[in-house]
């Protein structure tokens, strides 16, 4: 008999134990009869349930009694004692769940209070309202190495064009030697960096870009404009 079909109130360790009828009475009823009365009834009808005699008393196994009752399509019901134990166990589970819920609510209350206090302090100290963690997460973007062509901007003018597979690191270096107040970049695969950088250098003629030749007539770029033109022609 599977454990899922066992009535409540019968200790698992005693389902195959030999016990007296008085003990069975505490565990379950058969229909409207106490276990003791049901055992006496079937014995009177000439169909006794297997038993053993111990210390002068007949002992039975719960599984034998329940199997016989279910063969007769009789319902196995928990007794008042078993129901009381079941109710106590359920109340304990409910209490534990409620205690855990109270702890979680108290922690949430503390966290919310801390956030509200922090927002008040932020407005007083910085004049700005703090944003919630959910707002920060919603506006976040995946971290990745920024590979592409970048543009340094000063007073609304593009003053330098460069390329890098780690733009953030390169900008830190430029901040030490170049005067700019903003930047932007265009993502690009590593294989196309030289071409894209060259195109923008020739198109924008940035102020800080390196130059060569007599009086700097040639701007420094990976490819000259002529080379770019040749590259665009069909092979």
Say if residue 19 is in the same domain as residue 67: yes
pLDDT at residue 152, rounded to an integer: 95
Per-residue pLDDT of the chain (235 residues; tens, 9 = 90+): 544 466 666 777 777 889 898 888 888 888 888 888 999 999 999 999 999 998 888 999 988 998 899 898 998 887 766 667 767 778 888 888 888 988 888 877 777 777 777 777 777 878 877 777 788 788 876 777 789 999 999 999 999 999 999 998 999 999 999 999 999 999 999 999 999 999 999 999 999 998 865 555 678 899 988 999 888 888 6
Of 78, 105, 123, the domain-final residue: 78
Say if residue 135 is in the same domain as residue 177: no
Residues in the chain: 235
Say if residue 29 is in the same domain as residue 56: yes
57 is a domain residue = yes
Give the domain range for residue 184.
148-230
235 is a domain residue = no
CATH code for the domain of 157: 3.40.1440.10
Looking at the structure of the chain, the number of domains it has is 3
Say if residue 32 is in the same domain as residue 49: yes
The rounded distance, in Å, linking the Cα atoms of 29 and 77 is: 5
Say if residue 106 is in the same domain as residue 166: no
The rounded distance, in Å, linking the Cα atoms of 133 and 114 is: 13
pLDDT at residue 170, rounded to an integer: 92
pLDDT at residue 88, rounded to an integer: 79
Write the DSSP assignment of 88-127 as a string of letters: HHHHHHHHHHHHHHHHHHHHHHHHHHHHHHHHHHHHHHHS
Alpha helices by DSSP H, the chain: 21-27, 35-44, 62-71, 80-126, 133-138, 167-177, 193-204, 225-232
pTM (two decimals): 0.46
83 is a domain residue = no
pLDDT at residue 2, rounded to an integer: 45
Say if residue 156 is in the same domain as residue 215: yes
């Amino acid at each position: 008999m599977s454990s899922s079909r066992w009535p409540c109130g019968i200790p698992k360790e005693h389902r195959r134990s030999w016990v007296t009828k008085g003990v069975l009475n505490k565990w379950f009823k058969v229909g409207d009869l106490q276990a003791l009365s049901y055992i006496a009834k079937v014995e009177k009808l000439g169909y006794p349930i297997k038993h053993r005699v111990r210390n002068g008393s007949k002992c039975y196994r719960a599984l034998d009694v329940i199997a016989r009752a279910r063969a007769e399509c009789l319902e196995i019901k928990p007794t008042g004692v078993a129901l009381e134990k079941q109710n106590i166990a359920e109340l304990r589970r409910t209490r534990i769940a409620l205690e855990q819920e109270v702890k979680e609510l108290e922690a949430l209350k503390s966290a919310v209070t801390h956030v509200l206090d922090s927002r008040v302090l932020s407005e007083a100290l910085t004049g700005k309202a703090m944003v919630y963690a959910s707002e920060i997460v919603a506006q976040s973007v995946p971290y990745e190495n920024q590979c592409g062509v970048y543009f340094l901007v000063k007073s609304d003018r593009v003053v330098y064009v460069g390329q890098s597979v780690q733009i953030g690191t390169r900008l830190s270096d430029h901040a030490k030697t170049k005067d700019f107040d903003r930047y932007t970049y265009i993502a690009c695969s590593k294989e196309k960096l030289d071409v894209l950088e060259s195109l923008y250098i020739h198109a924008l003629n940035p102020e800080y870009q390196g130059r060569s030749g007599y009086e700097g007539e040639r701007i420094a770029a990976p490819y000259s404009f002529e080379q770019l033109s040749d590259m665009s022609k069909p092979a």
